[in-house]
Amino acid sequence: MISRAVVEALQKFVPVENIRLQEPMAGHTTFRIGGPADCFMQLENEEQLKKAQNYLNKVGVPFFVLGNGSNLLVKDDGYRGVILQIGQKMSRIVVQGCRIVAKAGATMSQVAHAALEHGLTGLEFASGIPGTVGGGVVMNAGAYGGEMSQVVTMVTVVNGEGEILELDNATMEFGYRTSVIRQSPFTVTEVTFSLERGDAEAIRSKMDELGAKRREKQPLEYPSAGSTFKRPEGHFAGQLIMEAGFRGFQIGGARVSDKHCGFIVNTGEATAEDVRELIQEIRKRVKEKFHVDLETEVVFLGWEDI
Protein backbone atom coordinates (compact mmCIF):
# COMPACT_ATOMS: atom_id res chain seq x y z
CA MET A 1 0.00 0.00 0.00
CA ILE A 2 1.08 3.56 -0.67
CA SER A 3 1.66 5.52 2.53
CA ARG A 4 -0.23 8.72 3.30
CA ALA A 5 3.09 10.60 3.26
CA VAL A 6 3.73 9.56 -0.34
CA VAL A 7 0.23 10.56 -1.41
CA GLU A 8 0.55 13.94 0.30
CA ALA A 9 3.88 14.51 -1.44
CA LEU A 10 2.38 13.65 -4.85
CA GLN A 11 -0.45 16.11 -4.24
CA LYS A 12 2.17 18.88 -4.34
CA PHE A 13 2.88 18.01 -7.98
CA VAL A 14 -0.53 16.98 -9.31
CA PRO A 15 -3.99 18.42 -8.50
CA VAL A 16 -5.83 16.43 -5.85
CA GLU A 17 -8.75 15.78 -8.21
CA ASN A 18 -6.35 13.96 -10.57
CA ILE A 19 -5.27 11.45 -7.92
CA ARG A 20 -7.33 8.39 -7.00
CA LEU A 21 -6.52 5.64 -4.52
CA GLN A 22 -7.36 1.95 -5.04
CA GLU A 23 -8.45 2.68 -8.61
CA PRO A 24 -9.80 -0.43 -10.46
CA MET A 25 -7.61 -0.93 -13.52
CA ALA A 26 -10.37 -2.78 -15.39
CA GLY A 27 -11.63 0.67 -16.36
CA HIS A 28 -8.29 1.64 -17.87
CA THR A 29 -7.46 -1.32 -20.12
CA THR A 30 -9.09 -2.46 -23.36
CA PHE A 31 -9.20 -6.00 -21.89
CA ARG A 32 -11.53 -4.57 -19.21
CA ILE A 33 -9.58 -6.62 -16.69
CA GLY A 34 -7.46 -5.71 -13.69
CA GLY A 35 -7.50 -5.16 -9.94
CA PRO A 36 -6.90 -1.88 -8.12
CA ALA A 37 -3.77 0.24 -8.34
CA ASP A 38 -2.63 1.68 -5.03
CA CYS A 39 -2.52 5.15 -6.58
CA PHE A 40 -3.68 6.40 -9.99
CA MET A 41 -2.60 9.82 -11.28
CA GLN A 42 -3.75 11.64 -14.40
CA LEU A 43 -0.96 13.89 -15.62
CA GLU A 44 -1.53 17.20 -17.38
CA ASN A 45 1.95 18.20 -18.54
CA GLU A 46 5.65 17.32 -18.64
CA GLU A 47 6.43 19.18 -15.43
CA GLN A 48 4.04 17.02 -13.45
CA LEU A 49 5.58 13.93 -15.04
CA LYS A 50 9.14 14.98 -14.21
CA LYS A 51 8.36 15.87 -10.61
CA ALA A 52 6.33 12.72 -9.98
CA GLN A 53 8.95 10.43 -11.54
CA ASN A 54 11.81 12.10 -9.69
CA TYR A 55 10.03 11.84 -6.36
CA LEU A 56 8.96 8.22 -6.83
CA ASN A 57 12.48 7.21 -7.89
CA LYS A 58 13.91 9.00 -4.86
CA VAL A 59 11.66 7.23 -2.35
CA GLY A 60 11.78 3.87 -4.14
CA VAL A 61 8.07 3.56 -4.93
CA PRO A 62 7.39 1.58 -8.13
CA PHE A 63 5.42 3.29 -10.89
CA PHE A 64 4.09 2.48 -14.33
CA VAL A 65 3.37 4.93 -17.15
CA LEU A 66 0.01 4.18 -18.76
CA GLY A 67 -1.50 5.36 -22.03
CA ASN A 68 -4.79 3.88 -23.20
CA GLY A 69 -4.08 0.42 -21.77
CA SER A 70 -4.59 -1.18 -25.18
CA ASN A 71 -1.92 -3.87 -24.80
CA LEU A 72 -1.93 -4.26 -21.03
CA LEU A 73 -2.99 -7.08 -18.71
CA VAL A 74 -3.15 -6.08 -15.04
CA LYS A 75 -3.10 -8.75 -12.35
CA ASP A 76 -6.37 -9.48 -10.56
CA ASP A 77 -4.77 -8.39 -7.28
CA GLY A 78 -3.92 -5.07 -8.90
CA TYR A 79 -0.70 -3.06 -8.84
CA ARG A 80 1.27 -2.17 -5.73
CA GLY A 81 2.58 1.16 -6.89
CA VAL A 82 1.62 4.35 -8.72
CA ILE A 83 0.06 4.54 -12.18
CA LEU A 84 1.06 7.69 -14.07
CA GLN A 85 -1.47 8.11 -16.85
CA ILE A 86 -0.65 10.15 -19.93
CA GLY A 87 -4.08 10.31 -21.49
CA GLN A 88 -6.79 12.81 -22.35
CA LYS A 89 -5.29 15.55 -20.22
CA MET A 90 -2.13 15.37 -22.39
CA SER A 91 -3.68 14.89 -25.83
CA ARG A 92 -3.32 18.20 -27.68
CA ILE A 93 -2.82 17.89 -31.45
CA VAL A 94 -1.36 20.72 -33.56
CA VAL A 95 -1.19 20.62 -37.37
CA GLN A 96 1.60 22.69 -38.95
CA GLY A 97 1.59 22.36 -42.72
CA CYS A 98 2.51 18.74 -43.43
CA ARG A 99 3.59 18.16 -39.82
CA ILE A 100 1.45 17.01 -36.93
CA VAL A 101 2.70 17.47 -33.37
CA ALA A 102 0.74 15.36 -30.91
CA LYS A 103 1.03 15.04 -27.17
CA ALA A 104 1.62 11.45 -26.11
CA GLY A 105 -1.89 10.99 -24.69
CA ALA A 106 -3.63 11.58 -28.03
CA THR A 107 -4.93 8.35 -29.52
CA MET A 108 -3.66 7.02 -32.82
CA SER A 109 -7.19 7.32 -34.19
CA GLN A 110 -7.46 10.99 -33.17
CA VAL A 111 -4.20 11.85 -34.93
CA ALA A 112 -5.23 9.90 -38.04
CA HIS A 113 -8.51 11.81 -38.21
CA ALA A 114 -6.69 15.13 -37.69
CA ALA A 115 -4.56 14.21 -40.70
CA LEU A 116 -7.71 13.46 -42.71
CA GLU A 117 -9.25 16.82 -41.78
CA HIS A 118 -6.18 18.59 -43.17
CA GLY A 119 -5.80 16.44 -46.28
CA LEU A 120 -2.62 14.72 -45.10
CA THR A 121 -1.85 11.13 -46.07
CA GLY A 122 0.33 8.54 -44.36
CA LEU A 123 -1.59 7.78 -41.17
CA GLU A 124 -4.53 5.88 -42.64
CA PHE A 125 -3.19 2.64 -41.12
CA ALA A 126 -3.50 4.15 -37.63
CA SER A 127 -7.19 5.06 -37.84
CA GLY A 128 -8.35 1.87 -36.11
CA ILE A 129 -5.51 1.39 -33.62
CA PRO A 130 -6.88 2.04 -30.10
CA GLY A 131 -3.63 2.99 -28.35
CA THR A 132 -2.07 6.40 -27.73
CA VAL A 133 0.71 7.82 -29.89
CA GLY A 134 3.03 7.56 -26.88
CA GLY A 135 2.50 3.83 -26.58
CA GLY A 136 2.38 3.49 -30.34
CA VAL A 137 5.80 4.99 -30.86
CA VAL A 138 7.34 2.85 -28.10
CA MET A 139 6.22 -0.36 -29.80
CA ASN A 140 6.36 0.95 -33.39
CA ALA A 141 2.68 0.17 -33.78
CA GLY A 142 1.43 -0.68 -37.23
CA ALA A 143 -1.23 -2.33 -39.33
CA TYR A 144 -1.93 -3.17 -42.96
CA GLY A 145 1.56 -2.34 -44.17
CA GLY A 146 1.97 0.95 -42.31
CA GLU A 147 3.85 1.60 -39.08
CA MET A 148 5.02 4.48 -36.93
CA SER A 149 8.62 4.32 -38.17
CA GLN A 150 7.42 5.45 -41.62
CA VAL A 151 5.89 8.74 -40.45
CA VAL A 152 7.54 9.74 -37.15
CA THR A 153 10.37 12.27 -37.38
CA MET A 154 10.86 13.31 -33.75
CA VAL A 155 9.98 11.92 -30.33
CA THR A 156 10.21 14.03 -27.18
CA VAL A 157 10.91 12.08 -23.99
CA VAL A 158 11.68 12.60 -20.33
CA ASN A 159 14.60 10.47 -19.16
CA GLY A 160 15.24 8.94 -15.75
CA GLU A 161 16.95 12.11 -14.52
CA GLY A 162 14.02 14.32 -15.48
CA GLU A 163 15.73 15.77 -18.55
CA ILE A 164 13.78 16.45 -21.74
CA LEU A 165 15.38 14.88 -24.82
CA GLU A 166 14.47 14.84 -28.50
CA LEU A 167 15.08 11.62 -30.43
CA ASP A 168 15.01 11.66 -34.23
CA ASN A 169 13.85 8.74 -36.35
CA ALA A 170 17.29 7.12 -36.59
CA THR A 171 17.92 7.46 -32.85
CA MET A 172 14.63 5.70 -32.15
CA GLU A 173 16.05 2.46 -33.62
CA PHE A 174 12.63 1.29 -34.74
CA GLY A 175 12.17 -2.44 -35.30
CA TYR A 176 9.26 -4.84 -35.51
CA ARG A 177 7.04 -3.83 -32.57
CA THR A 178 9.96 -2.26 -30.74
CA SER A 179 12.11 0.85 -30.42
CA VAL A 180 15.04 2.08 -28.36
CA ILE A 181 12.58 3.24 -25.70
CA ARG A 182 11.70 -0.34 -24.82
CA GLN A 183 15.19 -0.73 -23.34
CA SER A 184 15.55 2.81 -21.98
CA PRO A 185 14.20 4.71 -18.93
CA PHE A 186 12.38 7.15 -21.21
CA THR A 187 8.78 8.35 -21.09
CA VAL A 188 7.31 9.74 -24.31
CA THR A 189 5.58 13.11 -24.00
CA GLU A 190 5.23 14.28 -27.62
CA VAL A 191 5.47 12.85 -31.14
CA THR A 192 6.05 14.73 -34.42
CA PHE A 193 4.76 13.22 -37.66
CA SER A 194 5.81 14.18 -41.17
CA LEU A 195 3.10 13.47 -43.76
CA GLU A 196 2.31 14.33 -47.36
CA ARG A 197 -0.50 16.24 -49.03
CA GLY A 198 -3.23 13.98 -50.33
CA ASP A 199 -6.81 13.93 -51.55
CA ALA A 200 -9.20 13.97 -48.59
CA GLU A 201 -11.73 11.70 -50.27
CA ALA A 202 -9.03 9.15 -51.16
CA ILE A 203 -7.74 9.28 -47.57
CA ARG A 204 -11.24 8.80 -46.18
CA SER A 205 -11.89 5.94 -48.60
CA LYS A 206 -8.70 4.18 -47.51
CA MET A 207 -9.60 4.57 -43.84
CA ASP A 208 -13.10 3.23 -44.50
CA GLU A 209 -11.61 0.26 -46.39
CA LEU A 210 -9.24 -0.59 -43.53
CA GLY A 211 -12.05 -0.15 -41.01
CA ALA A 212 -14.19 -2.63 -42.92
CA LYS A 213 -11.30 -5.13 -42.96
CA ARG A 214 -10.89 -4.80 -39.22
CA ARG A 215 -14.58 -5.37 -38.57
CA GLU A 216 -14.57 -8.38 -40.87
CA LYS A 217 -11.42 -10.06 -39.58
CA GLN A 218 -11.06 -8.94 -35.95
CA PRO A 219 -13.29 -9.67 -32.92
CA LEU A 220 -14.04 -6.02 -32.18
CA GLU A 221 -17.26 -6.98 -30.40
CA TYR A 222 -15.26 -8.31 -27.42
CA PRO A 223 -12.76 -6.61 -25.10
CA SER A 224 -9.20 -7.60 -25.99
CA ALA A 225 -5.68 -6.26 -26.21
CA GLY A 226 -5.50 -6.62 -29.98
CA SER A 227 -2.98 -9.11 -31.34
CA THR A 228 -1.83 -11.17 -28.36
CA PHE A 229 1.45 -12.31 -29.92
CA LYS A 230 4.09 -10.77 -32.14
CA ARG A 231 4.50 -12.26 -35.60
CA PRO A 232 7.23 -14.94 -35.35
CA GLU A 233 9.79 -14.84 -38.13
CA GLY A 234 8.59 -16.88 -41.10
CA HIS A 235 5.17 -17.55 -39.60
CA PHE A 236 1.85 -15.97 -38.62
CA ALA A 237 0.93 -16.34 -34.96
CA GLY A 238 -2.79 -16.72 -35.64
CA GLN A 239 -2.18 -19.50 -38.17
CA LEU A 240 0.06 -21.43 -35.77
CA ILE A 241 -2.47 -21.07 -32.97
CA MET A 242 -5.29 -22.28 -35.21
CA GLU A 243 -3.28 -25.25 -36.48
CA ALA A 244 -2.43 -26.15 -32.89
CA GLY A 245 -6.17 -26.61 -32.32
CA PHE A 246 -6.94 -23.51 -30.28
CA ARG A 247 -9.73 -21.87 -32.29
CA GLY A 248 -12.49 -21.20 -29.76
CA PHE A 249 -10.46 -22.73 -26.90
CA GLN A 250 -11.44 -21.19 -23.59
CA ILE A 251 -10.13 -21.00 -20.03
CA GLY A 252 -12.61 -19.35 -17.71
CA GLY A 253 -13.83 -16.25 -19.47
CA ALA A 254 -10.77 -15.92 -21.72
CA ARG A 255 -11.23 -17.33 -25.22
CA VAL A 256 -9.20 -17.65 -28.40
CA SER A 257 -11.29 -15.77 -30.93
CA ASP A 258 -13.19 -17.88 -33.47
CA LYS A 259 -12.83 -15.01 -35.95
CA HIS A 260 -9.05 -14.50 -35.59
CA CYS A 261 -6.94 -16.92 -33.55
CA GLY A 262 -4.31 -14.23 -32.93
CA PHE A 263 -6.72 -12.55 -30.51
CA ILE A 264 -7.59 -13.60 -26.98
CA VAL A 265 -10.87 -12.01 -25.94
CA ASN A 266 -12.68 -11.38 -22.69
CA THR A 267 -16.09 -13.01 -23.13
CA GLY A 268 -17.42 -11.00 -20.21
CA GLU A 269 -16.19 -12.54 -16.98
CA ALA A 270 -12.53 -13.25 -17.72
CA THR A 271 -9.92 -12.76 -15.02
CA ALA A 272 -6.34 -11.78 -15.66
CA GLU A 273 -5.30 -15.22 -14.51
CA ASP A 274 -7.62 -16.80 -17.10
CA VAL A 275 -5.85 -14.82 -19.82
CA ARG A 276 -2.39 -15.61 -18.49
CA GLU A 277 -3.11 -19.35 -18.25
CA LEU A 278 -4.47 -19.35 -21.79
CA ILE A 279 -1.39 -17.54 -23.10
CA GLN A 280 0.91 -20.00 -21.35
CA GLU A 281 -1.01 -23.00 -22.73
CA ILE A 282 -0.85 -21.61 -26.26
CA ARG A 283 2.87 -20.91 -26.05
CA LYS A 284 3.55 -24.38 -24.66
CA ARG A 285 1.58 -26.25 -27.32
CA VAL A 286 2.86 -24.16 -30.25
CA LYS A 287 6.42 -24.72 -29.04
CA GLU A 288 5.85 -28.47 -28.80
CA LYS A 289 4.10 -28.78 -32.15
CA PHE A 290 5.99 -26.29 -34.33
CA HIS A 291 9.19 -25.51 -32.36
CA VAL A 292 8.29 -21.82 -32.47
CA ASP A 293 8.55 -19.49 -29.48
CA LEU A 294 5.62 -17.06 -29.40
CA GLU A 295 6.45 -13.69 -27.88
CA THR A 296 3.59 -11.64 -26.47
CA GLU A 297 2.70 -8.11 -27.51
CA VAL A 298 0.69 -7.91 -24.29
CA VAL A 299 2.45 -6.27 -21.32
CA PHE A 300 1.88 -7.95 -17.93
CA LEU A 301 1.58 -5.65 -14.91
CA GLY A 302 1.64 -6.88 -11.31
CA TRP A 303 3.35 -10.25 -11.82
CA GLU A 304 6.97 -10.97 -10.97
CA ASP A 305 7.29 -14.33 -12.72
CA ILE A 306 6.30 -13.51 -16.34
What 3-state class would DSSP assign to 85? strand
The catalytically annotated residue of 70, 124, 127, 177 is 177
149 is catalytic: no
99 is catalytic: no
Opening angle at CA 90, ends 159 and 167, nearest 5: 35
The catalytically annotated residue of 46, 124, 190, 297 is 297
Q: Evaluate the CA torsion angle 98, 99, 102, 106 in order and state its sign.
A: positive
Question: For residue 28, which phi and psi values (nearest 5 degrees)?
Answer: -125, 15
297 is catalytic: yes
Q: Is 3 exposed, middle or buried (CB count within 10 Å of its CB: 0-12, 13-18, 19+)?
A: exposed
- Residues found in the chain: 306
Residue type, 300: F
C-alpha 91 chain-centroid distance: 15
The catalytically annotated residue of 127, 224, 227, 257 is 227
CA gap 50, 174 in Å, rounded: 25
As annotated, the active-site residues are 177, 227, 297
